[in-house]
Amino acid sequence: MSQTPLLDLSGLRKAYPGVVANDDVTFAIQPGEVHALLGENGAGKSTLVKMIYGLVRPDAGTMMLNGTPFAPPEPRAARAAGVAMVFQHFSLFEALSVAENVALGMENPPKPSALAARITEVSNTYGLPLDPNRRVGDLSAGERQRVEIIRCLLQDPRLLIMDEPTSVLTPQEVDILFATLRKLRAEGTAILYISHKLEEIRSLCDAATILRLGKVVARCNPREKTASELAELMVGTSLKPPKSGGAAPGDIILKAQDLSMPSASAFGTPLRNISFELRRGEVLGIGGVAGNGQDELLMALSGERKLPQGSLYFEGEDIGTRPADMRRRIGVLSAPEERLGHAAAPNMSLTENAALTAARRQGMLSRGFVNWGAAKGFAEKVIGAFDVRTPGPGVAARALSGGNLQKFVIGREVMQAPEVLIVNQPTWGVDAAAAAFIRQSMLDLAAKGTGVVVISQDLDELMEISDRFAALNEGRLSAEVPTGDLTMEKIGLMLGGAQTTAMEQA
């Protein structure tokens, strides 16, 4: 290496009680380089970027920024040194405008009018269309991300850290983002890019550092590797793509007919006249950008929210007015997106969380009394069958990593032999190995005759496992199309086209 690296990390170590998150992590980022940070969930990526951004202090090791020692005690210091970060979860106030949100993140915000002009200028320069006066609550996920990015760009960063930036974007929005990132690179800004999407990394990144269990296991040029080679480096073993059982779809098992549901909160999305048919043995994929009614659709189908009569049928029987536990009894099971707090109670043990949905269907109840021994047995069965890494069923749900808890949550429903399974974002924030496992388990269910509805923002995932595809937009569902007839571009148009119409109406 002839030139001084922009950021040089050497021997970084950070241990938490019971786990070493980073151990002897050494790598360098050159100016004007898009550097990928790859690794499974729990590999230590988050801890590493938190150390660079001053959220966590390393136990050992040194960081050098432009050849001078760099040890930010807090994010403000990191920002002052030219390090900016776009988080996976946005920290924006929905009731405020774009400009107000940007101002809130600045140390010395300029006058509102000057700031608005700056935002417009930056957004034009980098091809990120954004109106500074719009209310954030009205923006799409992609537009919200632009707010975060522009907030960073206004600081003229030398290093921009992006954590899973494309997970909420349509293919078209991804293209816009990549154009912006390439432009930044051309100007000499380095980008540390965290993602699970290996194809994206291959097309965008100049270098990659791969972490496994807190340690650097490989450095490579991602363009010289195939996606499966990268995945193997990440996981440490080879991965098989999910295989469908190829069973022919059977009778209609779940049918939504003109299903409408008002939104529960001011920033929720009402469901509007949703109709679809699900057959035994098929996987129906429902795509869409975040915030277009995915949560609401899951709540409507799971029974968490009651529906008017005549809008949801299971094997020809109207089940719209039945509560969640009565739907479970007949085999309509579901797994919501949010693992902690919705699918599982954070402070409760896995045994208790197993009983959360399985108590009635798995015969753990007699006259209302819970057989905790049976619940523990069922939790152990799920842990074993789904390879959930945990000391045992007595552990609290929040002590599990995201991927492990997701395996538990999906496994809990799959192991109950559902007739219909509805899942929202089954592999969100889950590492490649666990994601492949979860997808395979849903295909296996379908092969046994279960009807599976997968709501997801990951279009690759939907293309891989679903037989038919429909797009959810502003609470409306498009007609279902066989996945075999679709290309990524066509799906993008389905989502994007629908979006344009919605924006014209607004």
Partner 1 sequence: MIWLEKRPAPSRTWSAASPIVAVFLTLIAGGIMFAILGKNPFEALRTIFWDPLFHEQFASFSRPQLLVKAGPLILIAIGLSFGFRAGIWNIGAEGQYIMGAIVGAAVGLALYPSESVLIFPLMVVAGALGGWAWAMIPGLLKVRFGTNEILVSLMLVYVAENILASAAVGWLKNPDGAGFPGSRNLSQWEASANPELIAGTGAHWGVMAAVIAVVFAYVVFTKHILGFHIRLSGEAPRAARFAGVNPNLLVLVCLGLSGALAGLAGLFEVTGPAGQIGIDFNVGYGFTAIIVAFLGRLHPIGILLAGLLMALTYIGGELASFMLSIPGAAIQAFQGMLLFFLLGVDVATHYRVRFGRKGVA
Binding site for partner 1 (CB under 8 A): 16-18, 54-57, 73-76, 302-304, 323-326, 328, 336, 338, 341-348, 352, 355-357, 359, 365, 368-370, 372, 395-396, 398-399
Q: Judged by CB, which is closer to partner 1: 325, or 489? A: 325
Nearest 5°: the CA angle 372, 373, 376 is: 85
Q: Say how far apart CA 443 and CA 281 lie, in whole Å.
A: 9
| Least CB distance to partner 1 at residue 364 (A) | 9
Amino acid at 206: D
Q: Judged by CB, which is closer to partner 1: 79, or 151? A: 79
Q: Judged by CB, which is closer to partner 1: 41, or 302? A: 302
Q: Say how far apart CA 452 and CA 466 lie, in whole Å.
A: 9
- Strand ranges, E, within 408-501: 420-424, 451-455, 468-473, 476-477, 481-482
| Least CB distance to partner 1 at residue 429 (A) | 18
| Least CB distance to partner 1 at residue 184 (A) | 26
Q: Judged by CB, which is closer to partner 1: 5, or 291? A: 291
| Least CB distance to partner 1 at residue 491 (A) | 29
Closest C-alpha to 255, from 274, 276, 273, 271: 276
Contact 41, 235 (CB under 8 A): no
| Least CB distance to partner 1 at residue 444 (A) | 24
| Least CB distance to partner 1 at residue 353 (A) | 8
| Least CB distance to partner 1 at residue 233 (A) | 29
Q: How many CB atoms lie within 10 A of CB 109?
A: 15
Closest C-alpha to 34, from 227, 190, 198, 224: 190
Q: Say how far apart CA 290 and CA 474 lie, in whole Å.
A: 10
| Least CB distance to partner 1 at residue 348 (A) | 6
| Least CB distance to partner 1 at residue 74 (A) | 3
Q: Judged by CB, which is closer to partner 1: 74, or 187? A: 74
Q: Judged by CB, which is closer to partner 1: 54, or 249? A: 54
Q: Which two tokens stand for residue 397?
A: 């749900």
Q: Judged by CB, which is closer to partner 1: 134, or 306? A: 306
Longest dimension (CA), the chain: 75
Q: Judged by CB, which is closer to partner 1: 412, or 468? A: 412
Q: Which residues contact 132 (CB under 8 A, 6 or more apart)?
A: 97, 98, 99, 102, 115, 116, 119, 120
Q: Judged by CB, which is closer to partner 1: 357, or 450? A: 357
Contact 319, 327 (CB under 8 A): yes
The DSSP call for residue 97 is B
Give me the sheet containing 271-279, strands edge to edge.
Answer: 271-279, 252-261, 312-314, 317-318
Contact 115, 103 (CB under 8 A): yes
